[in-house]
Copies of this chain bind each other. A is one copy, B any other.
Amino acid sequence: MNHVKDYRQQRGLSQLKLAQTVGVARQTINLIENGKYNPSLKLCLGIAKALGTDLNSLFWEE
């Protein structure tokens, strides 16, 4: 899994708001948060920047 939902909620953002910031559809954010698929690197980078964090914090499991 990943930590997108946690970080998004900590920032008080809706899925829609995050999606608009990153420039993707709301459904795409929803699917990523629920582990339903495998986002592209570019999208991961966009989400990390929009949430003021980095790739490891959101997507890395030791």
Chain A residues with CB under 8 Å of chain B are 38-42, 44-45, 48, 54-56, 59-60
- Please, could you name 12 A-B residue pairs with CB atoms under 8 Å apart, sorted by A? A38-B40, A38-B41, A38-B42, A39-B40, A40-B40, A41-B44, A41-B59, A44-B44, A45-B60, A48-B60, A54-B56, A55-B60
Instruction: Give how many copies assemble into the complex.
Output: 2
Closest to A32 in B: B41
A4 to chain B, nearest CB (A): 11
Residues of B within 8 A of A40 (CB): 38-41
Bound-state Cα–Cα, A48 to B59, Å? 12
Closest to A57 in B: B56
